[in-house]
């Protein structure tokens, strides 16, 4: 039977990457010197599983590497090796290395050989002390060259009485033996006790077996391999001339030699065998061991509860459908009310079903958080800082896609906090703070969004420095007066970095603008709060899911558009005196104490509106990207949840539009991208000006 092993690869990769995370968090949690045995065992187990799987599925490079880690961990587990800072560091590096190898194997790509070899060498050094394993040249003594012709074997087989209780069965063993060659068996019944003493669970029999043919001894040992300790087995070779070889295997008694014996030397020095194995492994082309695997298919682990919920919902939906079906067959005026009830139920079912399906895509944010303990540990070592990382709200659930996309921005922000936020222990002490700084990641749900906060108790952001830097870069004018909020927002401007020294960690000036753009692409917002000397807080707000959005339907002329509800502040009718225009071009609406630009949607999209007079329509005040604008529309229609269809995949990106959806009547409506629209109108008024 041939089994296509590649079908198990994806599961193997999934569990291996999971195992790596377990190893990493386990290693980070180890107390040097007083390591917890259970934690080491957990880490060991993860390494062990990866080794077993990779060997089984033929990923030799991975198996080979994991073997080293496993050996080291095994020694730690046994207590024969102390858990030192150095060894933990190397194990953490090995986790990275393994990640690299697994990714390479999964994607059939190259891996960083130098890095892998370096870590490997480090592990070997830890394992063997300083002496690099000596490769022994010279051949391993070959035991097969002078094998004499064997005519057969006499086998005395006396199982222990309890043999059956190990699940082994002498009959099966003898049957197995018969597969090697013709056998003759004589059963000895001398030991059978009196019936009164007979215990049916014990074996009282023993056998003398003659096996004919040129059978290698190893083959016979293999048959009895499992019962070595539970039976007396004596093998005697029926040689052609004087060749007779008895070899002591554990538990196998050696019969007194009948003729002069010639022992075959098979005990080659262990090192030699190891060396030859090693060179063999090195010989196999590295690429050939990277077997073909299916490309990265993203998969998701869903708890059974969620699936059960889903099945329940579908069940209810089916009931509703059949109810409606029955009503529809036979419509009378009386049934209208029932029909309405049914439709209401259908609506409820649909909503619940939708929620359940959405829940399937939700994962706890701990998936995104788990890389931080390691990162903060490494960074603080590198920077000579003492930092405690606190993770809160790790169970807060978030859409998988959002999670994947928020990972990198979060890394950047945490790096920033560690690098620029937290001061060195000495600086902190001088400022009257504890030497140990704190970085805290907190996630929670608020309304329809998830909020992620990154707090640090570091030196905070110096507004004056930011402002000066912004003036220097020409982002703002020296005599502009900006609110705190606006100043903090400047750090998100492209190419803006205030780090005095550009360190390895951050401060290359790429980043914050990218962070902001990434978050905006997810339909989220980012905000900075900071107090000099006290610390900073960065607040990220993200939609729970990318697939569905609460929308306000609006009408411009004959067309319907959707504005994300989250960006609408209010909608109002305007009075003429509240509108002023600058240079006869850009129109401003006086909203309380603030002037905000008016965007005439019919102009943007080239439509024919009901009326071009602002007083005839409505202004929808929207906020996006920190700025506010009024969108002029003809009418507000209803609010509803809409399923977002990407324009980029189905058409092409359009500025000012973030996607499209299909309405209940089958028509397509565009979803407005508020920040994009505001930018667009700013550009056009700049052009006009």
Partner 1 sequence: MAKILAVDDSASMRQMVSFTLKGAGHDVQEACDGAEALKIAQTGTFDLVLTDINMPNMDGVTLIKELRALPAYKFTPMLTLTTESGAEKKAEGKQAGATGWIVKPFSPDQLLATIKKVLG
Query: Which residues are annotated as catalytic?
Result: 48, 70, 416
Among 130, 131, 149, 229, binds partner 1 (CB under 8 A): 229
User: How far apart are alpha carbons 65 and 94 in whole angstroms?
Assistant: 8
Which of 628, 627, 623, 638 minimizes the C-alpha distance to 567? 623
Supply 481's token pair: 């007066």
206's CB contacts (< 8 A; 6+ apart) are: 156, 157, 158, 159, 187, 188, 191
- 167 scored as a contact of partner 1 (CB under 8 A): yes
DSSP state of 482: -
- For partner 1, which stretch binds (CB under 8 A), given 4-12, 404-412, 418-426, 675-683? 4-12
Count the residues in the chain: 689
3-class DSSP assignment, residue 621 = strand
User: How far apart are alpha carbons 33 and 542 in whole angstroms?
Assistant: 42
Cβ at position 88, least distance to partner 1 in Å: 21
228's CB contacts (< 8 A; 6+ apart) are: 249, 250, 251, 252
- 651 scored as a contact of partner 1 (CB under 8 A): no
Which of 413, 408, 419 minimizes the C-alpha distance to 379? 419
Cβ at position 92, least distance to partner 1 in Å: 21
**Helix 37-56 crosses helix 85-107 at what angle (to 10 degrees)?**
30
Among 176, 253, 355, 613, binds partner 1 (CB under 8 A): 176
Report the 3 state secondary structure along 360-386: HCEEECHHHHCCHHHHHHHHHHHHCCC
Residue number with CB closer to partner 1 (141 or 168): 168
3-class DSSP assignment, residue 475 = coil
Cβ at position 226, least distance to partner 1 in Å: 3
**Helix 217-224 crosses helix 170-178 at what angle (to 10 degrees)?**
160
- 287 scored as a contact of partner 1 (CB under 8 A): no
Cβ at position 37, least distance to partner 1 in Å: 13
Residue number with CB closer to partner 1 (76 or 466): 76
Cβ at position 599, least distance to partner 1 in Å: 53
Among 139, 149, 190, 201, binds partner 1 (CB under 8 A): 201
Residue number with CB closer to partner 1 (176 or 570): 176
Cβ at position 84, least distance to partner 1 in Å: 23
Per-residue x/- mask for partner 1, residues 22 to 41, rule CB under 8 A? -------------------x
Per-residue x/- mask for partner 1, residues 41 to 60, rule CB under 8 A? xx-xx--xx-xxx-xxx---
- 164 scored as a contact of partner 1 (CB under 8 A): yes
* Range 327-366, binding partner 1 (CB under 8 A): none
Cβ at position 168, least distance to partner 1 in Å: 5
**Judging by beta carbons within 10 Å of its beta carbon (0-12, 13-18, 19+), is residue 208 exposed, middle or buried?**
middle
- 106 scored as a contact of partner 1 (CB under 8 A): no
Do 87 and 81 contact (CB within 8 A), yes or no?
yes
Residue in this structure with the two tokens 């880490």, named with its chain if needed: 43
Residue number with CB closer to partner 1 (21 or 559): 21
Among 20, 40, 61, 63, binds partner 1 (CB under 8 A): 63
Among 86, 108, 121, 165, binds partner 1 (CB under 8 A): 165
DSSP 184-226: EEEEE-TT---GGG--TTS---EEEEEEES---HHHHHHHHGG
Among 6, 39, 71, 639, binds partner 1 (CB under 8 A): 71
Residue number with CB closer to partner 1 (171 or 256): 171
Report the 3 state secondary structure along 619-683: EEEEEECCEEEEEEECEEEEEEEEECECHHHHCCCECCEEEEEECCCCCEEEEECHHHHHHHHHH
DSSP state of 468: H
Among 14, 100, 161, 397, binds partner 1 (CB under 8 A): 14
Residue number with CB closer to partner 1 (203 or 622): 203
Cβ at position 73, least distance to partner 1 in Å: 11
Among 1, 186, 501, 689, binds partner 1 (CB under 8 A): 1
Among 25, 168, 503, 684, binds partner 1 (CB under 8 A): 168
User: How far apart are alpha carbons 93 and 89 in whole angstroms?
Assistant: 6
Strand 231-239 versus strand 252-254 pairing type: parallel
Cβ at position 51, least distance to partner 1 in Å: 7
- For partner 1, which stretch binds (CB under 8 A), given 64-72, 118-126, 375-383, 546-554? 64-72
Supply 231's token pair: 């039976």
Residue number with CB closer to partner 1 (59 or 90): 59
- For partner 1, which stretch binds (CB under 8 A), given 66-74, 237-245, 436-444, 513-521? 66-74
Cβ at position 206, least distance to partner 1 in Å: 19
What is the H or E stretch that residue 521 is in?
Answer: helix 512-521
Residues in contact with partner 1 by CB under 8 A are 1-3, 5, 7-9, 11-12, 14-15, 41-42, 44-45, 48-49, 51-53, 55-57, 63, 67, 70-71, 74, 164-169, 172, 175-176, 201, 225-226, 229-230
């Amino acid at each position: 039977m041939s089994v296509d092993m590649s079908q198990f690869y994806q599961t193997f990769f999934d569990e291996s990457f999971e195992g790596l995370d377990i190893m990493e968090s386990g290693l980070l949690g180890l107390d040097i010197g007083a390591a917890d045995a259970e934690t080491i065992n957990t880490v060991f187990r993860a390494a062990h599983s990866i080794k077993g799987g990779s060997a089984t599925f033929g990923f030799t490079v991975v198996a080979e590497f994991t073997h080293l880690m496993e050996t080291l961990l095994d020694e730690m587990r046994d207590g024969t090796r102390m858990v030192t800072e150095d060894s933990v560091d190397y194990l953490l590096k090995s986790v990275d290395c393994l990640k690299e190898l697994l990714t390479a194997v999964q994607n059939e790509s190259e891996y960083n050989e130098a890095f892998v070899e370096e870590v490997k060498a480090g592990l070997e050094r830890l394992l063997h002390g300083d002496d690099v394993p000596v490769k022994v040249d010279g051949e391993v003594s070959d035991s097969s060259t002078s094998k004499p012709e064997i005519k057969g074997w006499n086998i005395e087989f006396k199982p222990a009485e309890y043999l059956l209780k190990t699940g082994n069965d002498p009959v099966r063993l003898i049957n197995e033996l018969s597969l090697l060659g013709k056998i003759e068996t004589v059963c000895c019944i001398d030991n059978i006790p009196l019936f009164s003493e007979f215990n049916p669970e014990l074996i009282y029999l023993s056998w003398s077996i003659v096996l004919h043919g040129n059978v290698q001894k190893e083959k016979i040992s293999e048959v009895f391999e499992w019962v070595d300790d539970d039976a007396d087995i004596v093998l005697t070779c029926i040689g052609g001339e004087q060749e007779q070889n008895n070899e002591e295997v554990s538990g196998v008694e050696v019969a007194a030699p009948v003729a002069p014996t010639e022992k075959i030397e098979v005990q080659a020095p262990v090192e030699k065998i190891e060396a030859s194995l090693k060179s063999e492994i090195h010989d196999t082309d590295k690429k050939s061991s990277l077997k073909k695997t299916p490309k990265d298919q993203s998969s998701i682990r869903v708890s059974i509860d969620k699936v059960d919920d889903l099945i329940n919902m579908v069940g209810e939906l089916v009931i509703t459908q059949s109810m409606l079906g029955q009503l529809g067959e036979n419509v009378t005026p009386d049934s209208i009310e029932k029909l309405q009830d049914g439709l209401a139920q259908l609506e409820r079912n649909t909503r619940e079903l939708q929620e359940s399906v959405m829940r399937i895509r939700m994962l706890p944010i701990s998936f995104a958080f788990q890389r931080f303990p390691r990162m903060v540990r490494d960074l603080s070592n590198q920077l000579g800082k003492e930092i405690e990382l606190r993770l809160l709200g790790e169970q807060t659930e978030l859409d998988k896609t959002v999670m994947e996309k928020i990972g990198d921005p979060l890394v950047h922000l945490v790096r920033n906090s560690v690098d620029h936020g937290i001061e060195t222990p000495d600086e902190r002490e001088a400022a009257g703070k504890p030497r140990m700084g704190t970085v805290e990641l907190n996630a929670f749900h608020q309304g329809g969004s998830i909020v992620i906060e990154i707090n640090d108790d570091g030196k905070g952001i110096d507004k004056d420095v930011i402002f000066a830097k912004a003036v220097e870069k020409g982002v703002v004018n020296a005599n502009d007066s900006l609110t705190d909020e606006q100043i903090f927002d400047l750090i998100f401007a492209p190419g803006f970095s205030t780090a005095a020294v550009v360190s390895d960690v951050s401060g290359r000036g790429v980043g914050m603008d990218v962070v902001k753009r990434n978050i905006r692409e997810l339909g989220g917002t980012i905000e900075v709060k900071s107090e000099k000397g006290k610390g900073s807080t960065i607040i990220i707000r993200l939609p729970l899911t990318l697939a569905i959005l609460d929308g306000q339907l609006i009408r411009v002329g004959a067309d319907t558009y959707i504005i994300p509800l989250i960006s609408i502040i209010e909608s109002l009718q305007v009075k003429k005196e509240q509108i002023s225009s600058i240079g006869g071009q850009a129109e401003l609406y006086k909203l309380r104490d603030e002037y905000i630009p008016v965007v005439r949607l019919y102009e943007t999209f080239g439509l024919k509106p009901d009326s071009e007079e602002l007083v005839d329509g409505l202004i929808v005040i929207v906020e996006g990207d920190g700025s506010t604008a009024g969108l002029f529309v003809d009418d507000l229609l209803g609010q509803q949840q809409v399923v977002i269809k990407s324009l980029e995949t189905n058409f092409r990106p359009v500025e000012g539009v973030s996607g499209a959806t299909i309405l209940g009547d089958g028509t397509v409506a565009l979803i407005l991208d508020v920040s994009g629209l505001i930018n667009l109108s700013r550009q056009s008024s700049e052009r006009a000006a």
